[in-house]
Homo-oligomer: A and B are copies of this chain.
Amino acid sequence: MPTRPSETPVVIASNRGPVSYRSEGDDLVEVRGGGGLVAGLQPLLDTGRATWIAAALSEDDRSAVARGLPGPSGPVHLLDVGTGDLERYYDVVSNEVLWFLHHGLFDGAHSPTYDDDWRESWQAYRRVNRAFAHAVCEHSPERAVVLVQDYHLTLLAPWVTTQRPDLRLVHFHHTPFAGPSEVRSLEPTALQEILSGLAAHHACGFHTPRWEGNFLRCVDDRSLPAPRTFSSTLSSDLGAIREVAASAACAAALARLDEQVGDRFVIARVDRMELSKNVVRGFESYDRLLRIRPDLRGRVVFVAHCYPSRLGVPAYRAYRDLVVETVDQVNERWGDAGWTPILLELDDDFTSSVATYRRYDALLVNPVRDGLNLVAKEGPAVNERHGQVVLSTEAGVCGELAGAADEVNPFDLVATSDALAAVIDRSTEERRARSEQLRRDAEARTPEDWLADQLRAAE
């Protein structure tokens, strides 16, 4: 008799795992990870149904692996793939090429460029994927469902299915998927291996039909057999965010924020300082708003949490500098002794971000392209001010918040500042109605729904 789906063992393979390690003196302390992915999969771990394979990402993680942690009988296995391969697989192939490719960040004339060093990096990516494949084969119970996560791990399926035809592999891609014209800027061997690697899964999932359609067109262009595909959106663990919102630390952070902003209209953003997040155009749109609407000067304030990200990559350092420069210009142009138009927060402090979620009147989420974007769901879930959401049409979450959010083309400064003006001028009644709809839409799906969609796709 076949195993019932609800009892099928599950193996998860992802770059970042549910635990990591931090050294304290001679000890290594286990740190639990957060985010929607862990929230969605944690119940499987807690009930002993799941095994999780992830990369040892830090020096402390590697020390843990060397000491036999997290322990061979536990549900989590960290792979130490070596620092050289890790850097090439993660920084070069995954973050500098595949991330740029899927987010449309190459300019053609100058990037990408594939040289001999790229070829070494690609071989490292293959080796790391193969190490994951070996670990999956080794740790997977009979007839398990293997949930492979994201663009770091695209090559497992052909190797695993040869060794372990009893397993059923589902891939979930958390970023956008580039269109058929765009993927042609990937080095051809890598492109062919990635597409056929993905196509070798039993099913491939994406956040939205748009990314799913792009993938299918790419597969079709190369006459590869298409796997089953599905789209399913992730959510944050909103319960955990509500707990933070209700904490004393968050109340203190909110009190500090209130002291800074007073009763001004608060426009907010919460992002990594990431090329795809479109931070600069956000400030340029705000600059235009202050120019065309003198009545708003002194009455609004832009609270921007922009956490440092990938500062080892020159393009990211340059982008951070451009962001800071733009903020300085706007503050100098319009600010005065009693009013700083933009409050830029560069420290990664989740409690303080949640305080801003509670306080904003308008949340600006304007990525040039985004697989989904969880900020646009987290804000409405804990906001206390009938806050509105100005949202890029290029964020995957756009479909879920359609009708309630104010949609803008992220390249369009005029549309973005006009949308901010419209939100400011909106009646309290309409704001309330929209914010309630935003909250309902944001809460409509849970991380468990997303997990269930993956398991269903494996059937």
Contacts and interface: CB of A to CB of B under 8 A. Distances in A.
A103 interface: yes
A109 interface: yes
A112, A116, A288, most chain B CB atoms within 10 A: A116
Contacts of A394: 184
Interface stretch (A20-28, A230-238, A274-282): A274-282
B319 A109 contact: yes
A400 interface: no
B368 A113 contact: no
A179 interface: yes
A409 interface: yes
Interface string A96-117: 0000000111111111111110
What is the count of identical protomers in the complex? 2
A281 to B, nearest CB: 6
Interface residues of A, number: 46
A81 interface: no
Interface string A149-186: 00000000000000000000000000000111110110
A111 B107 CA distance: 9
A179 B110 CA distance: 20
B107 A106 contact: yes
10 contacts: A103-B108, A105-B107, A108-B275, A108-B276, A114-B411, A114-B413, A115-B284, A182-B182, A185-B368, A188-B393
Lowest 8 CB-CB distances: which A-B pairs, in order? A179-B181, A107-B107, A109-B275, A114-B412, A108-B368, A179-B179, A104-B108, A105-B108
